[in-house]
Amino acid sequence: MMLVINPGDLIREVGQLQAHVHGEGDAPPGHAFFGAGFLFIGSLLVVEQLAGGVWSRAFWRRMLWPAALLLLGAGMIVVARVQPDDKSLHLTLAMLLLLGAYTEAQYRLGKISRTAADAFAIPALIVGGFVIGPMHSNGNLLSSTMAQAHLLVGVLGWLLAGVKLMRVHFGPTLALEYSFASGVMMLGLSLLLVEQFHGAH
Amino acid sequence: MSRQLRALLIGMLGPALQAAGAAWDLLEHGVFAPAGGELITLTHIVSGPAHLMMATGFAVSVVCIPIALQVAAASPEELAPPEEIPNELELAGELRTAEAAK
């Protein structure tokens, strides 16, 4: 069987998708900045694995992950303050990010074990996935691209929780560390995709 | 993985993100909105996902290029994955065990 695709038709179909357009008076585009933040810190988590002990030579590099979570949590508080809708959802995400920053900082300072930090991170990722996915999707999941993109972010949160659970079960392995780091990058990319189809939020 | 390959991957991650962002931008303006020049506003320039991806790639390059140089010059022992960070309670327990053994 031969599948024939006319490039002109394909381009026309893809062209029907929404362009990233902001209108006058639209709310500030939050998803894109959070997406860029997660993409940045996810890339650095990948580099942390590649660089091995070289990464830990500088204290500030070791603290970049909790610092990024802190900054994103503070940003989410601003979003909760500015956005007229979904305040409770944004505040929930802000609290999860800030508490995550605290536990990750405690781990990286040697105050708590990885297991103790994961005891917070795993439920936080599951709850965060529900909040940003099904609860925040704002549309029909079957017909709205934006709702589907939101759900993708939530699913990625759950997948990250799954990677953390496997780490607890099997112990630390390079494959799981790289999976978590690239998962955070994917989370950032999915938020950028949400912004692409969202236009304004 | 050899240290040269690690250094190459670390050094190329930022430029790869920038290239992906540039491709996304070309796709957006060439396919999604080919005649949408009038829609390009300051908000779009600052917050466009493709533009932010390029900016992220630049920021990753700024952080990573010095690390790539350090990795290229590091010994294999230094490139070993860091072990779990031991917490203070575990360290205190080990110290007590060592003292008791004396």
Structure confidence at residue A25 as a pLDDT band (50, 70, 90): very low
Q: What is the pLDDT of residue B9?
A: 93
Structure confidence at residue A201 as a pLDDT band (50, 70, 90): very low
A12 touches chain B (CB under 8 A): no
The CA radius of gyration of chain A, in Å to the nearest whole number, is 19
Q: What is the pLDDT of residue A1?
A: 45
Which of A180-184, A190-194, B44-48 has the lowest average pLDDT?
A: B44-48
CA angle, corner A119, sides to B90 and A36, nearest 5?
110
Asked whether the predicted pLDDT for residue A49 surpasses 60, the reply is yes
Query: How close is the nearest chain A Cα to the Cα of B18, in Å?
Result: 12
Better-predicted residue by pLDDT, A11 or A126: A126
d(CA A22, CA A24): 7
CA dihedral A66, A70, A75, A78 (to 10 degrees): 170
- DSSP for B33-45, written as a single string: STT-GGG--HHHH
Residue type at B13 in one-letter notation: L
Structure confidence at residue A200 as a pLDDT band (50, 70, 90): very low
Better-predicted residue by pLDDT, A25 or A136: A136
Q: What DSSP designation does B29 have?
A: I
For chain A, how many helices (H) and strands (E)? 8, 0
| Cα-Cα-Cα-Cα dihedral sign, residues A142, A146, A147, A152 | positive
Q: What is the mean pLDDT of residues A74-82?
A: 89
d(CA A41, CA B79): 20
Structure confidence at residue A56 as a pLDDT band (50, 70, 90): confident
How many percent of chain A have pLDDT more than 70?
80
**B contacts of A26 (beta carbons < 8 Å):** 43
Residue A60: exposed, middle, or buried by beta-carbon count in 10 A (0-12, 13-18, 19+)? exposed
Q: What DSSP designation does A117 have?
A: H
Q: What is the pLDDT of residue B85?
A: 64
Structure confidence at residue A148 as a pLDDT band (50, 70, 90): confident
Whether the Cβ atoms of residue B56 and residue B16 lie closer than 8 Å to each other: no
Contact criterion met (CB < 8 Å) for A32 and B13: no
The pTM score is 0.81
If we measure between CA atoms, which residue out of A193, A162, A201 comes closest to residue A179? A162
Whether the Cβ atoms of residue A172 and residue B84 lie closer than 8 Å to each other: yes
Asked whether the predicted pLDDT for residue A3 surpasses 70, the reply is no
CA angle, corner A72, sides to A195 and A167, nearest 5?
100
Q: Look over chain A and give the mean of its residue pLDDT values, rounded to a whole number.
A: 82
d(CA B12, CA B5): 10
| pLDDT tens track for B71-102 | 999 888 888 776 666 666 566 666 667 676 66
**B contacts of A111 (beta carbons < 8 Å):** 87-88
Whether the Cβ atoms of residue B17 and residue B56 lie closer than 8 Å to each other: yes
Structure confidence at residue A30 as a pLDDT band (50, 70, 90): confident
Query: How close is the nearest chain B Cα to the Cα of A147, in Å?
Result: 17
Structure confidence at residue A149 as a pLDDT band (50, 70, 90): confident
Q: What is the mean pLDDT of residues B42-66?
A: 88
Q: How many CB pairs under 8 A join A and B?
A: 133
Q: What is the mean pLDDT of residues A155-170?
A: 91
Whether the Cβ atoms of residue A76 and residue A38 lie closer than 8 Å to each other: no
For chain B, how many helices (H) and strands (E)? 4, 0
Disruptive mutation site among A24, A45, A50 for chain B (greatest number of B CBs within 10 Å) = A50
Asked whether the predicted pLDDT for residue A105 surpasses 50, the reply is yes
Which of residues 46 through 85 in chain A touch B, CB cutoff 8 A? 46-47, 49-57, 61
